[in-house]
Structure 1
C-alpha cells in the first residue's frame, strides 16, 4: 500500500469535495419529487461518475481512468443498448423519457451509473482479497448487489419498466430475477477487463483511496436507510442489505480493526 501522498493540496481535496456534494444531493433526494427528483437523480449520477473518474486519474493515472471509462461507461452503454433491443441479458425493458436524452433507447446517463459504482467496488475488493480472480468476483458481486437497491427504486419512480417482470424476488415486484443475473454476468466481464486494462497502478490498495471507500460505505448505509425508512421499499432494503453486505460488512470490520484505538 502506498504510504506517501505527494499530490498538491487541490488534488487531495477535490475527491473529498465531490463526495461531499454528492452526499448532500443524495440526502435531498427523498425530500423531493416529480421533475425535481428526476433532475436530482441525473445530477447525482453525473457527480458520482465525475468523482470516480477524477479519483482514478489523480491516484492511478490516465491509463486507469481511461480503462474505467472504456469498460464501465462505453461497455455499460453497449450492454444496455443490446438489452433494450433484444432483452438480453437483463430481460425485456424500456426506459421512460424522464432521465434525459437517449441514444438507441438508452438514456445517456445510465452507463455513467456503471462508471460511478464500478470504481469503488473494485477498490473495495482490493482490500478484501489478494488474488486477482477473487478480487474480480468480489467487485462484481458488490456492484451487482447494489442493483438490488437501484432497480426497485428506479422502477418505483417510473424511470424504466419491464415487459414481463416475473419471476421476481419476494417483496420486490416489477423487477425480474433475470435482471440481477444479467447484472452479475456483465459485472464479472467488466471487472475482468478493468483488472487488466487499468494497469499495475490499479492492482493494489492505496492510502489515497479514502474518498472511494467512504463512498462505498456511504452508499450501502444510505441505501438501506432510505429504502427502509424514506422510500417505502423495505424488501429491497432487506435484500440489498444482506447481499451487498456480504462485501461491505467485512470491509468495514477490517477497516475498524486497522484504525487506531
Structure 2
C-alpha cells in the first residue's frame, strides 16, 4: 500500500522542467488579480509586472519546451515585428487606425514604448501554443495554415479584451474610436482588423521559426503554464471588466470569443479519450 501511495504521489508531481514556467504563470495570475484592486501609480506598477512576467514566461517556456534556439528566435522575431508594426502604425495610422501612447508607458524606441513589444511577446507565444493544440487533429496538409489562422485569431481576440482596459488606464488613446464593436465605444474596428493582419504575419513567421528550430516532440514539457496565463488573462480579464472595471462590453466579448475555443478543446478531449 505504501509503495502504491508513493507511486501515485510521484505521478502527481510536475516534471522538473514544468516547475519554473508554472511558478511564473502563478505569479502572473496573482499579480493580475491585483490590477482591478489597485489604482494610480500602484496600478501602473502592476501593469508593468504583468507584462514582464508574461514575456519572461513566453521565453522560458519556449526554451524549455522547444529549445534555446526557438526561445532566442521567438524573442527576436516578436520584438522586431512588434516594433515594425507599431512604429508604422504610429506614423501612418495603418493598419490599426490613428492612436498615440501616453508618457505613462515610459521610454520608447521609434515612438514605441519598450513595454509594448514585451506585451506582444506575452500574447504571441501562448496564442501560438494554443493554436498548435487546436490544429493537431487537422490533416497534415492543412495543419500549418490552420495553426497560423487559429493563432492570429486568438492573438486578435486577446486584444479585444485588453485594449479597452488599457485605454481606460490612459496608456493610449484613439483619435477616431468609432465605429467599434457593439458595447465597446473606445476602440475602433480598424484596430481589430489591424491585429488580425499583424497576427497573420507574425504567426506565419513564428510558425516557420518553430518548425525549423524546435527540438523533437519527446523533449517537450507541458504547455500548461502559457495556457493558464492565456485562459486567465482572457476569461479572468472579462470577469474583472464586468465586476470591477466597469467595462461590460469587453467583458461580454471576451466571454463570447472564448466559447468557441473551449468547445473545440472539449470536443478534442472527448475524441482523444474515446481513442484510448
TM-score relative to the length of structure 1: 0.89
Task: Map 1:157-196; keep pairs closer than 5 Å.
Answer: 157-196=169-208
Q: Aligned residue for 2:228? A: 214
Match for residue 72 of structure 2 among 66, 84, 100 = 66
CA distance in 1, matches of 2:262, 2:215: 20
Instruction: Return the offset for 1:253.
Output: 5.2
Distance 2:89 2:151 in 1: 22
- For 2:122 and 2:215, locate their aligned partners in 1 and report how far apart those are by CA, in whole Å: 16
Residue number in structure 1 paired with 2:240: 226
Task: Check 1:176–1:21 CA distance in 2 against 1; reply closer, same or farther (3 A cut).
Answer: same
More deviation, 98-107/194-203: 194-203
> In the aligned structure 2, how far is the partner of 1:209 from the partner of 1:101?
33
The verdict on how the C-alpha distance between 1:203 and 1:174 changes in structure 2, with shifts beyond 3 A counting, is: farther
Task: Report the alpha carbon displacement of residue 243 of structure 1 after superposing the two structures with TM.
Answer: 2.2
1:238 matched to 2:252? The reply is yes
1: CA distance, partners of 2:255 / 2:216:
27
CA-to-partner distance for each residue in 1:25-56, whole Å, 9 max, x for gaps?
00111110011101110111000000011110
Query: What are the residue-to-residue correspondences of 1:46-125 with 2, within 5 Å?
Result: 46-125=52-131
Q: Structure 1 pair 239/188, CA: closer, same or farther in 2 (3 Å)? A: same
Q: CA deviation at 1:116?
A: 0.8
Instruction: Give the drift of 1:161.
Output: 0.3
Q: Which moved more, 1:242-251 or 1:91-100?
A: 242-251
In the TM superposition, structure 1's runs of 4+ consecutive aligned residues that sit over 3 Å from their partners are: 202-207, 252-260
Output one character per residue of 1:4-31: Cα deviation in whole Å (capped at 9) or x when no partner. xxx983x331111111111110011111
Tell me the equivalent position of 1:149.
161
SS of match in other structure, 1:198: helix
Structure 1 match to 2:38: 32
SS at match of 2:104: coil
Cα 1:207/1:216, change in 2 over 3 Å: same
Can you list the C-alpha shifts for 1:49-70, whole angstroms capped at 9, x where unaligned? 0001111011101221122112
Equivalent residue in structure 1 for 2:27, among 21, 30, 33: 21
Separation of aligned partners in 2, 1:203 and 1:170: 45
Larger Rg: 2
Give me the TM-score of the superposition, normalised by structure 2. 0.85
User: 1:244: how far off?
Assistant: 3.8
CA contact (8 A) 2:67 2:215 kept: no
Structure 2 unmatched runs, 5+? 1-13
**What residue in structure 2 maps to residue 3 of structure 1?**
none
| 1:147-202 Cα shifts (integer Å, max 9, x gaps) | 11111110111110011112112221121100010000000010000111123537
SS of aligned partner of 1:94: strand
2:211 corresponds to: 199
- Larger mean Cα displacement after TM superposition, 240-249 or 91-100: 240-249
